A = this chain, B = another copy of it.
């Protein structure tokens, strides 16, 4: 089933052509919030089936600019799920030991096992985003990574992992407002760092780098969804629609009870 925000395969989509305003696509916030709550309940119902079945794996990737809402989305959509079967992994700047290995090394180690959902808060895409924009590796190194990512994601799907990737799309003015809010509110101040302003200066280059990701790493087996994320209520709805639809398609089944238990009566 096609989704409004799935980036069309083979299309040369530019971030600048995509709206960050969910409110332009949905005129009823109350209705959206009600639908989201229902979807979240369905997510909480489907996840234990995936876990009990113990066969399939689901990998959910979140990327966004700073203040794009990754943490908030993950908190919001996972409310009510059983943490035993859902794991959130945040990728920070790589450690010395991680840098001593290939860039997918630490990522591969964190992919979901059978029956599990893993949510990546940032991911291997940083290795063609921040690394590219901030020149953290030579071009001949990061240029190779698009194909390496595609092969890795293909391999994961061929070995039983379903992959969905979200870019939470806010515009530059929304980021300005969110940064200002963080600066002004004492309880949010810790979320702000001067480095955030450095990265903001390269906004256009980040958009170009993300255009390249959409052009080169948007595949049938691991599609990208660009979610308008200026309004949290729309963002949460749009993300959970995709996740729930994906879980429906995975069609997990509780395992059959052991044979011979049909007429057992526990008497004591």
**Complex CA distance for A161 and B102, rounded to whole angstroms:** 9
CB-nearest residue of chain B to A100: B113
Question: Chain B nearest CB: distance from A166 CB in Å?
Answer: 23
Interface residues on A, range: 20 to 34
Q: Tell which of A5-13, A104-112, A201-209, A226-234 binds the partner.
A: A104-112
Count this chain's copies in the assembly: 2
Q: Which residue of B lies closest to A54 (CB)?
A: B100
Measured in the bound complex, the distance between the Cα atoms of B108 and A155 in whole Å is 13
- Specify which chain B residues have a CB less than 8 angstroms from the CB of A111 in the assembled complex: 101-102, 105
List the B side residues contacting A161 at CB < 8 Å: 102
User: With A and B bound together, what is the CA distance between A105 and B151 in angstroms?
Assistant: 15
- Point out the residue from B97, B115, B155 that lies within 8 Å of A100, measured CB to CB: B115
Query: Considering the chains assembled together, what is the distance between the CA atoms of A111 and B161 in angstroms?
Result: 22
- Residue from B54, B113, B152 in contact with A97 in the complex, judged by beta carbons closer than 8 Å: B113
Residue of B nearest to A154 (CB): B151
Q: List 26 A-B contacts (CB under 8 A).
A: A54-B100, A97-B113, A99-B114, A100-B113, A100-B115, A100-B116, A101-B113, A102-B111, A102-B155, A102-B156, A102-B159, A102-B160, A102-B161, A104-B108, A104-B155, A105-B109, A105-B111, A108-B108, A108-B109, A144-B158, A148-B155, A148-B158, A148-B159, A151-B151, A151-B155, A152-B155
